[in-house]
Chains A and B, each alone.
Chain A
Amino acid sequence: DAMVIQNPRYQVTQFGKPVTLSCSQTLNHNVMYWYQQKSSQAPKLLFHYYDKDFNNEADTPDNFQSRRPNTSFCFLDIRSPGLGDAAMYLCATSRDRDSTYEQYFGPGTRLTVT
């Protein structure tokens, strides 16, 4: 089945220790998104890739970076995680960059910062 896969599902890192979360998709979608979701809150868009074109949200901290080496994979790098970065990180894809396309979410990676 075509899907969005995120690894790992749970990640524990230490304060200030860089961490990388990964996302892969078999849908061959052009757009990949990274969201941060904290408890009982809506997903907050961090950035997205339209093909290889990177688009950062204005309020995304510089501590968050992303890479998309090919169509299928996208990575979220947190350079120096703080306690406030503990959250669920959701990867999503859509066929194209138009809000009328539905987004397909992966299962998420729950990040704990100790």
Chain B
Amino acid sequence: GQQVMQIPQYQHVQEGEDFTTYCNSSTTLSNIQWYKQRPGGHPVFLIQLVKSGEVKKQKRLTFQFGEAKKNSSLHITATQTTDVGTYFCAAGGTSYGKLTFGQGTILTVHP
């Protein structure tokens, strides 16, 4: 089945530093979604990327979809303590609208 590798598994940063998490697939993806899960919370949809080479921004967050639609990244500029949580990529392209989740990157921000 479809697999999505997400790295790093953990990232510890000082407040104000940048953060990036990467997702990679061996197969072409139809789309990729990003979710954030706060500690003790549930996944919350952030954004979806569909087009090759697509770049979307949400304030300090920048999302990219690779030209070959096999990889994606989420970059946070100048992290804040409110950015703490686990960031998941979730790839579409399989049957029944199933999303294949990456393993997630746990972000810790030290004040």
- A interface with B by C-beta (< 8 Å): 31, 40-43, 45, 48, 50, 55, 90, 92, 94, 96-108
Bound: A48/B96 CA distance, A: 9
Are A42 and B50 closer than 8 Å at their CB atoms? no
Residue of B nearest to A48 (CB): B96
The answer to whether A107 and B106 touch across the interface, beta carbons within 8 angstroms, is no
Which residues in B have their C-beta under 8 angstroms from that of A31? Answer: 97
Establish whether residues A99 and B31, one from each chain, have CB atoms under 8 Å apart when the complex forms: yes
Contact with A along B55-86 (1 / 0, CB 8 A): 00000000000000000000000000000001
Which residues of B84-111 have CB atoms within 8 Å of chain A's CB atoms? 86, 88, 90-94, 96-99, 101-104, 106
Task: Across the A-B interface, give the 4 residue pairs with the lowest CB-CB distance, nearest first.
Answer: A99-B92, A42-B101, A102-B45, A97-B97
Set of chain B residues within 8 Å of A90, measured between Cβ atoms:
42-43
- Give the complex CA separation of A104 and B94 in angstroms: 19
Answer whether residue B30 sits at the interface, using C-beta atoms and an 8 A cutoff. yes
Give every chain B residue within 8 A of A45 (Cβ-Cβ). 98-99
Q: Contact check, A43 vs B98: say whether CB atoms are below 8 A apart.
A: no
A42, A96, A102: the one contacting B88 at CB < 8 Å is A42
CA–CA, A40 and B45, complex, Å: 18
Interface hub of B41, B97, B98 (most chain A Cβ within 10 A): B97
A104 to B42, CA, bound (A): 9
Q: 9 A-B Cβ contacts within 8 A? A: A40-B104, A43-B43, A98-B92, A99-B31, A99-B91, A102-B48, A103-B90, A103-B99, A105-B43
Residues of B within 8 A of A97 (CB): 96-97
Within 8 Å of chain A (Cβ to Cβ): is B33? yes
In the complex, the answer to whether A102 meets B97 with C-beta atoms within 8 Å is no
Assuming the A-B contacts A100-B31, A105-B43, A105-B44, are A42 and B102 also in contact, with contact meaning beta carbons closer than 8 angstroms in the complex?
A: yes
Residue of A whose beta carbon sits closest to that of B33: A102
